[in-house]
Amino acid sequence: MRNEKGNWKFFIIGAIVFVIFIFPLYWMVVTALKTQVEIFQIPTPLWPKALTFDAFAAQLSSSSDTLRGFKNSLIIGCGATIIATILSIPAAYGLARFKFSGRKVLILYFLMTQMLPSTLILTSLYIMFSKMGILNSYLAPMLADATLGIPFSIIILRTYFLSIPKELDEAAKIDGCNSITSFTKVMLPIAKPGVVVAAVFSFVYAWGDLIYGITFITDPNKRPITSSIYNYVQQYQTLWNATMAFGIIAILPIVLIFIFMQKYIVSGLTNGAVKA
């Protein structure tokens, strides 16, 4: 009986937490389906009296900047993810498998970079990209967004590689593999969930970036989708239904990624979590 009462308490608490976290998303959807007049009604209805999809139709029209920004964010996000994943995998493997002086300091450095704001390196990156001649191109925000994903990816992948027994490396070498083939044919397939987690979060960082996209790209046709939010803030009013429809379209890829990659994300975050 006590166990059943305890389970009901946890269920109720979980339901309350779920409602609290899901309500902003619900309100975003409801607001996007309302007219501008109904939004400002007092009291505002919890569900629109007359559903309208005009806000979504406007976002998906050929004259809208949303689809173009969506394409730009997809290019920048995928590019930053590829760069961050390719660089972080061997770095994390080296930190996990090899002992050298300064290794702990290097790991601490990666942890510290997660606490620093993006604006701290904005000026130095702008000067560097200007001298490289890659401003106003997709490559500049790709590289900048990769700097956000690499430290997190290294931290996640290092703990995952630490959870893999070293005996597998030794067994692969006995079978004739060298260090590279052992890494590519044995370690990487086992570490697939950790690699997926690193790639997912690198993409999330790049997709949600605003400051790098509007700083390094001056051409509106190349800017990411996050920069389009300013289109709905006018001098005398804010088009809330259009803003919410834009927000739903903008977060849709992230939601789908976490839905379909949930198995890998949970496995990648939990495996090796106790390793230091």
Give pLDDT tens digits along the chain (276 positions).
555 555 788 888 888 998 898 898 899 999 889 888 888 888 888 888 888 888 888 888 766 778 888 999 999 999 999 999 999 998 888 888 878 777 778 888 877 877 777 778 888 899 999 999 999 999 999 999 998 889 888 888 888 888 888 788 778 777 777 778 888 888 888 888 888 888 998 999 899 888 898 899 988 889 898 888 776 666 566 778 888 888 888 888 888 888 887 777 776 666 655 454
What's the predicted TM-score (pTM) here?
0.83
Q: Count CA atoms within 13 Å of residue 173 on its CB side.
A: 8
Backbone angles phi, psi at 233, to 5 degrees: -105, 100
From CA 23, how far away is CA 36, in angstroms rounded?
A: 20
3-state secondary structure of 238: strand
> Cα–chain-centroid distance for residue 256?
12
- What the block records as the tokens of 232 is 């709905």
Spatial CA neighbour of 69 closest among 201, 198, 209: 209
